[in-house]
Structure 1
Amino acid sequence: MSQPKSFVIGNRKIGRDVQPFIIAEMSGNHNQSLERALEIVEAAAKAGAHALKIQTYTADTMTIDHAEGEFSIDDPNSLWKGKSLYKLYQEAYTPWEWHKPIFDRCKELGMIGFSTPFDESAVDFLESLDVPIYKIASFENIDLPLIRRVARTGKPIIISTGMASIAELDEAVRAAREEGCEHLVLLKCTSTYPASPENTNILTIPHMRELFNVEVGLSDHTMGVGVAVASVALGATVIEKHFTLRRADGGVDSAFSLEPQEFESLVVESERAWQSLGKVRYGPTEKEKNSLVFRRSLYVVEDIKKGETLTKQNLRAIRPGYGLPPKYIDQLLGKKVKRDVKKGTPASWELFDE
């Protein structure tokens, strides 16, 4: 099967031949303050993020104002236990009038600003701002009408795959492609908040690449950067992590968000992981060739007179590596030297009688 083609968003290339594309997800970590939102943009840029993502919805486009039954979160393990869906989305949403100043600040700082739309009205609004790429959230990856609407913009699409079966992902990919999407990225995602490494299954990443012939990556809700960095070795070309100024400030997503210093570590270490991949090869690299002299080799370690025999006392495998390889020691022991040999002479075939 042919490999997915790399592509460019703004000034950033996405593909296996460049460092991973790192996205800082602001989500609701602005805590309903535009000033804080812009501080987050600036901190993300300073930490080295290539893009900053927000989410485009209102409580009314997500659900109805109803707090009974299934409209209230009763999972005892949820960060949002006891809240109605409507109240949660009211608290977490990013006011639409903030989008332009957020995107403008991203552009000023050399980052790509984009968003996740949750319904068609959000797509129409984001098109008015000419965003360069779209993200489909895990909970929306079964919303085929939304995927089709986004694909019709002609922009690249990133789809998080949380909870989706292979059949559901196949439907999502087909829907995007049928409407003309040429550049598609699937992000392995575990839709728990936070997620545990044990429940992340990043071995799925190369499988998704092969199965759907798309760029792949990770939307990571685990703590720290270890899982994200490991994903690079499995072919992740895009990494998305939630980002906040300080977890102690609170907020709907703060508990599983990276702080600036941690995010900077993610950028640096994911690039190092990518640089380390290289290709399958054996033997010394060009840089290693100068180190060959520090291998062990066979040396005469005592003065020997002509005609004397090599023994374990006067012939040893030591550093440096200018003598014969240690594998020849059994062949040399017992041989007689054909001339006087000084201590510190590297063993060579020329020292011995045939």
Structure 2
Amino acid sequence: MNYRTFTINGQGHDRPGPVTYGPERVLIIAELGTSHGGSAAKARELVDAAAEAGADCVKFQIVYADEILHPNTGEVDLPGGRVGLYHVFKKLEVPLGFYGDLKEYVESRGLLFLASPFGIRSARELRSLKPRLLKIASPELNYTGLLEELASYGLPALLSTGVSRLADIEAALEIFPPERACLLHCVTAYPAPERDYGLRVLGNLGGIFGVPVGVSDHSLDPELVPSLAVTMGAAVIEKHFCLSRMDPGLDDPIALPPVDFARMVRGVRRVSALGAEAALEALRRERGPDTVEAVLGDGVKRLAPSERANYERTNRSIHAIRDIQAGDTLAPGDFAVLRTEKILRPGLHPCWETKLAGRKTARFIPAGEGIVFEDLIR
């Protein structure tokens, strides 16, 4: 298998030069997300614990609720129960200085700082922090305007490919240069069944698009998916991290606490040391050939059963910000590219965002609903 590597210009204060990752040296990311709950002390505690557990990189999310959801989205089912996600995100908004201080602290620990933006404002704020690497989350893979903005920064990026089809990935890589991209195979379910991963897809994604690959893993097993992913050529492994699964963070119920994250790191490093073939044989003996074969799958990129219902709902589309009356002329502030979730109607693909201003509406569009072609006078 022709494995491709992924290079980042520096990592932490003690490693300023380029660092190249591949199956023999995997970049391991602890996804801290918003588990800090807005507390700088909790964020530092998470960083310290991730460093001790063996992470190379810690990742955060720069959240502004209005960039992600409409207030009328309603409640969303998450691992910790049903929540009004828009209002939770509002409570997680923090000043940019919060992340500036965190980046300095992360790098003082010799780790790489990484964050996901969710819209143009958070992207530009992230750029002001001078990151070495970007992350585009799965729901934003089809967000044309955000991809164009991030592509203009000239930085390498990890692009998660959960709840997407091959055509979605191809369209994203027509905007974000493939030579600066690494695709992270992902299943957008919380938790995701290990057997939904079909990890042979990694070699096919790398071959089709000519890019390095990795996995953003939402399964509960600390080792199975990450270790097998490295045998299939993964250069990057990302896994949610928490201090305890009893903590109140949005993703804490499916995240790995420090002991389990350290176990994952050891498993990944063992595969790198053994090499793909020897490691695969060892995993077949330890986990059973049927389990290993089920997780490896047939290599076809398809929507996994556990995420199929999320397609066109977790992804972005164009939604009305306000009640729009029949006969109104649309202005830029009347609509936004948002996640739909379960209650609202999905709208037009984000590529239409720049083409709607000046169009007249044919019928009433309630605030929050997706804008579709039938809403417009042609």
Query: Superposition pairs for residues 1-354 of structure 1, below 5 Å?
Result: 4=4, 6-11=6-11, 13-16=19-22, 18-66=24-72, 71-73=73-75, 75=77, 78-79=78-79, 81-93=81-93, 95-177=95-177, 182-225=179-222, 226-277=224-275
Q: What TM-score do you get using the length of structure 1 for normalisation?
A: 0.72
Alpha carbons 1:2, 1:213 under 8 Å: kept: no
Q: 1:159 to 1:49 in 2, by over 3 A?
A: same
Identity, in percent, stands at 29
Supply the distance in 2 between the matched residues of 1:80 and 1:246 (Cα, whole angstroms).
Answer: 13
Supply the distance in 1 between the matched residues of 2:19 and 2:69 (Cα, whole angstroms).
Answer: 36
Supply the distance in 2 between the matched residues of 1:127 and 1:95 (Cα, whole angstroms).
Answer: 15
What secondary structure sits across from 1:258 in the alignment? coil
| 1:30 Cα offset (Å) | 1.1
| 1:5 Cα offset (Å) | 5.0
Q: 1:190 to 1:93 in 2, by over 3 A?
A: farther
Whichever residue aligns with residue 119 of structure 1, its letter is G
Alpha carbons 2:31, 2:241 under 8 Å: kept: yes
| 1:176 Cα offset (Å) | 0.6
Q: CA RMSD in A?
A: 2.1
| 1:56 Cα offset (Å) | 1.1
What secondary structure sits across from 1:26 in the alignment? strand
Supply the distance in 1 between the matched residues of 2:2 and 2:233 (Cα, whole angstroms).
Answer: 15
Instruction: Show structure 2 runs of 5+ residues with no match.
Output: 12-17, 279-378
Supply the distance in 2 between the matched residues of 1:132 and 1:42 (Cα, whole angstroms).
Answer: 20
**Alignment match, 2:334:** none
Alpha carbons 1:79, 1:193 under 8 Å: kept: yes
**Alignment match, 1:295:** none
Count of residues in correspondence between the two structures: 271
What secondary structure sits across from 1:163 in the alignment? coil
**Alignment match, 2:372:** none
Supply the distance in 1 between the matched residues of 2:34 and 2:238 (Cα, whole angstroms).
Answer: 15
Q: 1:37 to 1:233 in 2, by over 3 A?
A: same
Greater CA drift, 261-270 or 36-45? 261-270
Whichever residue aligns with residue 28 of structure 1, its letter is T
Alpha carbons 1:54, 1:116 under 8 Å: kept: yes
What do residues 154-195 of structure 1 show as CA deviations (whole Å, max 9, x unaligned)? 100100000111011000011112xxx632100000000111
Alpha carbons 1:3, 1:213 under 8 Å: kept: no
Supply the distance in 2 between the matched residues of 1:86 and 1:234 (Cα, whole angstroms).
Answer: 38
Instruction: Show structure 1 runs of 5+ residues with no match.
Output: 281-354
Alpha carbons 1:221, 1:242 under 8 Å: kept: yes
| 1:84 Cα offset (Å) | 2.4
Supply the distance in 2 between the matched residues of 1:124 and 1:279 (Cα, whole angstroms).
Answer: 43
Alpha carbons 1:73, 1:80 under 8 Å: kept: no
Supply the distance in 2 between the matched residues of 1:242 and 1:95 (Cα, whole angstroms).
Answer: 23
Alpha carbons 1:92, 1:252 under 8 Å: kept: no
Q: 1:255 to 1:94 in 2, by over 3 A?
A: farther
Supply the distance in 1 between the matched residues of 2:82 and 2:213 (Cα, whole angstroms).
Answer: 35
Whichever residue aligns with residue 46 of structure 2, its letter is I
What secondary structure sits across from 1:229 in the alignment? helix
Alpha carbons 1:48, 1:264 under 8 Å: kept: yes
Alpha carbons 2:231, 2:276 under 8 Å: kept: no
What secondary structure sits across from 1:83 in the alignment? strand
Alpha carbons 1:72, 1:82 under 8 Å: kept: no
